[in-house]
Amino acid sequence: MPLQPRGFRHALNRSTLRPGERQLEVQGLHLAFGKVAALAGVSFTVYQSEILAIIGPNGAGKTSLLNSISGLYRPQRGSIRFYNDGETYELTRRKPHEIAQLGIARSFQNIELFRHMTVLDNLMAGAHVHMKSGLLPSLIYWGPAQQEQIHFREFVEDIIDLLEIEAIRYKKVGTLSYGLQKRVELGRALAMKPAILLLDEPMAGMNTEEKEDMARFILDVNEEHGVTVVLIEHDMGVVMDISDRIVVLSFGRKIAEGTPEEIRQNPEVRRAYLGE
């Protein structure tokens, strides 16, 4: 286990790699919708315990990239390799639920929570892949099945603590403000005990205070638990502040990659993205 979690009774990070080890390798990814090439040969590597930002103008292919990693889109060419437990997993041929079971968790650009469930149940649903009780024991809520639910309730309470959402745990998520829903969606992804966390515009549409909170939570998860974060974000202030490295996409191509400082200096990025 990479880092010692603070205040958590159960490990949050599922990756067995050491910080800095190669964790996710995207190679030559091509994805086209009819004539539109959403991704035109994208390659990059994600390293354990880093925060990698993906930036680029609207329609650059950022969401398509995350959707390809989580198996929702089927790229026509290229590979996505994921490393954990000493194994190599090729993701492009797997179903979304199988990819999730490997520990790849994510949030969505347009919140996709389970609206009619409470915050608590959304987080419990996030821990679905870890619950192993059979149908019959579950129907009678028999000893071990009950123990399992209580065990994960404990775990989920630690996430509720971390995200400071104690006061809303019994609320139906559909009734919550946009900012809180984004926070719950992060919580649901964390409940999966991610090896890697993919966040699609986690701060979009938030006010400054909410953004600061969200940035703090992401840093907490990354620094305290060593969870790798891949995040798409438009707010350049936030991106420069919290990310270790940045990948820049434009029209489905990677036009730059580097530290925030390198990206700031890169003439092509300034031309294509920062509008110069």
Partner 1 sequence: MISGTFHTSYRSDMALRRTWIERLRLGLFIAFIVLFPFVVRKPYPIFLMNQIGIATIGAIGLNILVGYTGQISLGQGAFMAVGAYTAGILTARMGVPWWLTIPIAALVTAAVGALFGIPSLRMKGLYLAIATLAAQEIILWVVTHWDAVTGGVDALVVPPPMLFGQPVNTDFRFYWVIWPLVGLTALLTANLFRTHYGRAFIAIRDQDIAAEVMGINVFAYKLLAFGVSSFFVGLAGALIAHYRSIVTWERFTIETSVLYLAMIIIGGLGSISGSLFGAAFMTLLPAFLTNVGRALQGVIPGMDELIPYLQQASFGLVIILFLILEPEGLRKIWQDIKNYFALWPFSY
Residue ranges binding ligand ADP (CB under 6 A): 33, 36, 38, 56, 58-64
Instruction: Put the strands of the sheet holding 36-47 in their side by side order.
Output: 36-47, 22-33, 77-84, 87-90
Among 21, 85, 90, 112, binds partner 1 (CB under 8 A): 112
The b-or-e profile of 123-152 (16+ CB within 10 A means b, else e) is bbbbbebbeebeeeeeeeeeeebeebbebb
Does 133 bind partner 1 (CB under 8 A)? Our answer is: yes
How far apart (Å, rounded) are the C-alpha atoms in residues 84 and 101?
Answer: 12
How far apart (Å, rounded) are the C-alpha atoms in residues 114 and 182?
Answer: 12
Does 73 bind partner 1 (CB under 8 A)? Our answer is: no
Does 110 bind partner 1 (CB under 8 A)? Our answer is: no
φ/ψ of residue 11, rounded to 5: -60, 140
How far apart (Å, rounded) are the C-alpha atoms in residues 49 and 225?
Answer: 9
Q: Work out how close the CB of 69 gets to partner 1 at its nearest, in angstroms, rounded to a whole number.
A: 11
By three-state DSSP, how is residue 95 classified?
coil
36 binds, among ligand ADP, partner 1, Mg ion, none (CB under 5 to 8 A by kind): ligand ADP
How far apart (Å, rounded) are the C-alpha atoms in residues 227 and 248?
Answer: 22
Q: Work out how close the CB of 240 gets to ligand ADP at its nearest, in angstroms, rounded to a whole number.
A: 19
154 binds, among Mg ion, ligand ADP, partner 1, none (CB under 5 to 8 A by kind): partner 1
By three-state DSSP, how is residue 253 classified?
strand
Q: Work out how close the CB of 55 gets to ligand ADP at its nearest, in angstroms, rounded to a whole number.
A: 9
164 binds, among ligand ADP, partner 1, Mg ion, none (CB under 5 to 8 A by kind): none
Does 124 bind partner 1 (CB under 8 A)? Our answer is: yes
233 secondary structure, DSSP code: -
Which 139-168 positions form the footprint of partner 1 (CB under 8 A)?
139-141, 145-146, 148-150, 153-154, 157
Q: Work out how close the CB of 37 gets to Mg ion at its nearest, in angstroms, rounded to a whole number.
A: 16
Does 172 bind partner 1 (CB under 8 A)? Our answer is: no
Q: Which two tokens stand for residue 31?
A: 């994805």
Positions in the binding site for partner 1 (CB under 8 A): 70-72, 95-97, 100-101, 106, 108, 112-117, 121, 124-129, 131, 133, 135, 138-141, 145-146, 148-150, 153-154, 157, 170, 188, 192
